Every structure is written in structure tokens, then in C-alpha cells.
Structure 1
Amino acid sequence: MRLKVLGCGGGIGSDSHTTAMLLDEDILIDAGTGVGTLTLDDLLRIDHIFVTHAHLDHIAFIPFLVDTAGSLRDRPLIVHALPSTLACLQAHIFNWHIWPDFSCIPDAAHPYMRYEPVTVGEAVALGSRRITPLPACHIVPAVGFQLDSGQSSLVFTGDTTADDALWEAINQISNLRYLIIESAFSDAGQDIAARAGHFHPAMLANELNKLQHNAEIYITHLRQGEAEVAMREILAGVTRFSPRRLMSNQIFEF
């Protein structure tokens, strides 16, 4: 498997894009503004989008992707997410008010887009690749994903805060190689982080003590203006690992 980071910022501007990752050539893990860095040929190769949750910074470019590529494809784009996330997309985005309902365009029998619900702990097999939703704790229903090539795994937590169920699931992954985990605020914003269902460095340092594997750890979702401070706080607090900042265009092969 080959994962390319298209966007991993806590906002936009100055080359920062929100969360989106391209797995091989045909799968998106979230579809934030980072999708806008792809060419039309790249967009046409995407067959699946796995969505962690319904917040705009993770789904903003699904409507543009379907609108751009739908009529040029011979099969629907499949959106995989929790049932509650899919219901949110249907009710609030693809509702004919914000955007057309591409699940019935050009007609219900030949849609440009199809919804596929996922269940925590149940892997979706795409050839030899297995993508498994993992527990997450956010202010809306959310999941992370284990991406398993068969040789090794990468875990992306999505947006989450402290959650013992997440660590229990991660610690059962015997071939874990990479962990991408968020810290959306510095410690100065810990009150906001608590209300918004995000990590901040002190909390993240404490939670990483629950990780039983020797994985490479990368920090995502850092906010502009706080990223350097937050990384310093993370590095000062984490003693067992050496976390690194996730960067756009970074590539993982596993």
C-alpha cells in the first residue's frame, strides 16, 4: 500500500489543506480541501472514499469530486462511512439545496455516487487490502481506520480525544507500523479541545502511554499559528516515542 498525504492541516491558507489522503490510486481517506491538489486524471481513478466523520474539513471536496468526475466514469463513486455520517451527508449536503443528490443522478439505477455503511471492527476488503473502522471519540459520530496491506498496517485515528476503546483496538494490531494521530490545539487551548473532542499535547502524551507497539508516530490536524508550539509541547511530554509532524505530500509505503 502507498499512502500520500494530500492535506493534514487544521485549516487552509499558505499551502495548508484540510484532511485528505490518497491510498494507492483509487481510495481517498477523508476528502478535505487537500483533494483539490489532484489532477483530473487522478480524480477519475478514485473509486472509494472512506470518511472518518461528517465535519466539513473532512468532507468538503466530496461534492466537487462527484460533480467533476461523475459523468466521466462508468461506475459510481462509493462513499464508505458510519450510517449516521452517511445520513448527515444525505440530509445536509446532497439534499438539492446545498448540492444535488448524486445518488440518484442521472437516475437511481445508474448513480454517480453510492453510499456504503461501515461498522466499527468490520474490515472492508478491496482485493488484498483491508480497511477496518476503529473506535473514535469526537463530538459527532466518528471512526479511525486501520489500513492493512497484509504485511503491515497504518492507523489513522481521524478526529478523536481520549478513548480506551481506540487503544484496545490499536493494541490488537500485530503488524502496526505507523500511527497518525491528531492534536488540534496546543495546551493553551485545552478547554476548547475538551469541548470540541480533540487532543491537546498534554492529553496526547498521557494517552500515548497506552500504546503497546513500537510504531512510528505522526501528528496531524495542527492549527496554523500553533503548530510549532504544539509540537514542542508534544515532544516535551512524550518520553517513549519520538513523534513527528505530518506533512502534506508525505508518502508512506507499507
Structure 2
Amino acid sequence: MWISILGCSGGIGPGNRTTSILIDDDILLDAGSGVGDLELQQMSKIRHIFISHSHLDHIAFLPFLVDSIFSQIKTPIQVYGLPETIKALKDHIFNWTIWPDFSELPSKEKPVMQFNEMLPHTSIQIGERKITSIPVEHVVPGVGFCVQNEEGKNFAFSGDTATNDSLWQALNKLSSLDALMIESGYPDSMEDLSKLALHYTPARLADDLKKLKHTPHLLISHLKPGLETEIAEGLHNHLKEYDVTCIKSGDSIQL
């Protein structure tokens, strides 16, 4: 299983792309601005897109992706998300005002994109990979995802979240956890703001990791631009027992 980090930043700027992870060459977890760095041929291979929640930095390039490969699509791209997330996409993006509704183009009978509601704790089997949604705690309804391949390797992605129990309970049910991509959007000095925005700080992440029975490679994402050094220092101080990497756009991992 190849995991390509197209985007993982909490903002934009030179070298910064918002959240999007490519699994092998056909599955996308979120569709932030990192999608825009793919070649057209790479975009056309994507068949399944799992959206963690409705915030713009996680969905912004979904409309552009579908529009760019419209003429090359033979079967509909499948888009999965919570009912609330699918409703937000339909009401506020693919509504014929902000963007055409590609779930009705070129016709309702043969669209290039199909929406699929995916409830928490449910799984979708795609070839030899199983994708399971895990509820997390954010300011809008959100989930993380666990991707398991045919060899039993597990990669988990938290999406955006703050302190919760559901993520850790679900991960503890796995026989193993090889890599966990989890956010730490703010430094410890901005604890009050992190509570309002429902993002982890290094200290709060360290506290929640005590609930986890596995010791995966931690891939830290969603660092806010300009705060990366302070967040990284906090992670180093709090997570000495873990293998921790503050990932960047363009990184890749093989499991």
C-alpha cells in the first residue's frame, strides 16, 4: 500500500497544500489543494474519494478534480462521506451556483460523480483494501479513516479532531496499527484557541495517546503555517517514546 501525502498543512503558502492523501493510485482521502499537484493522468485514475468532513481545506479541490477529468471518466467517481458532509457538498458546492452538480452531468442517469452516505463504524471494500470510518470530535461532524490492505497492514487518518474517545477505541480494536496520520494544529501556547477550534495541541495529543495500545509511526499533520517550529518542539518534548514525523506535502510511505 502506497500512501502519498499530496497535502497536509493547516494553511497555504509556498510548499504548503491542504489535506489530501492518495492511497495507491485510485483512492483519495480528502480533496484539499494538494490534489492540484497531480498530473491529469494521475487524476483520471482516482475512482473513490472519502471526505472526512465538510471544511473547505478538505474539499476545495473536489470540484476542480471532477471538472478536469470530466471527459475522461467512463464510470462515476464515488464520493463517500457522512450524511451531513454529503448534504453540505450538495447544498453549498455542487448547487449550480457555486459549481455545476456533477452528480447530474452529463445526465442524471449516467453521471460522472456519485455521492454515497457512509455512517460511522462502517466499511467499504475496494479491491483488497478495506476503508472504515471512525467518528472523531470537531466543530462539524467528522470522521477519520482506517485503511487496511490484504496483508493486514493498517494506516489510520484522524481527519481534524480534538480530544475524544471514539478514535482510540476503534484503533484499539485493530490487531495492529502501522502508521497513524494525526493532526496537531496549534502549539501548547495556543491552548484556548485549540479548544475553540477543536484541534489538538502536542500536550493534548500526548494525553490522548495514552489511550492507545499500539505504538505506530506518528505522522503529524495540519500544522498551522508559521507555527511549525513551536509545534514540532512541543511534539518532541511530549512524545519521546514515539517515532514522530511532521509530514510535508510530497512525502510518501509504503506499508
| TM-score, structure 1 normalization | 0.98
Deviations 1:137-166 (A, max 9, x none): 100010000010032100000000111111
Aligned residues: 254
Partner of 2:56: 56
Within 5 Å, which residues of 2 pair with 1:172-211? 172-211=173-212
Q: Does 1:138 align with 2:126?
A: no
Q: Does 1:79 align with 2:75?
A: no
Q: Does 1:12 align with 2:12?
A: yes
- Cα deviation for residue 239 of structure 1 reads 3.9
Within 5 Å, which residues of 2 pair with 1:58-137? 58-137=58-137
Partner of 1:156: 157
- Report percent identity of matched pairs: 41
In structure 2, C-alpha distance between the alignment counterparts of 1:162 and 1:214, rounded to whole Å: 18
Counterpart code for 2:181: I
Deviations 1:30-84 (A, max 9, x none): 0000000000001111111110000000000000011111222111111011111
Counterpart code for 1:103: S
| TM-score, structure 2 normalization | 0.97
Counterpart code for 2:245: R
Counterpart code for 1:40: L
* Secondary structure of the corresponding residue to residue 104 of structure 1: coil
Deviations 1:214-235 (A, max 9, x none): 2111110001110111010111
Return 5+ residue gaps in structure 2 as ranges: none
In structure 2, C-alpha distance between the alignment counterparts of 1:171 and 1:246, rounded to whole Å: 24
Report the RMSD for the aligned CA atoms in angstroms.
1.0
Q: Is the 8 A contact 2:52 2:143 kept in 1?
A: yes
Q: Is the 8 A contact 2:216 2:243 kept in 1?
A: no
Counterpart code for 2:209: L
Question: Which consecutive aligned stretches of 4+ in structure 1 deviate over 3 angstroms post-superposition?
Answer: none
Partner of 1:36: 36
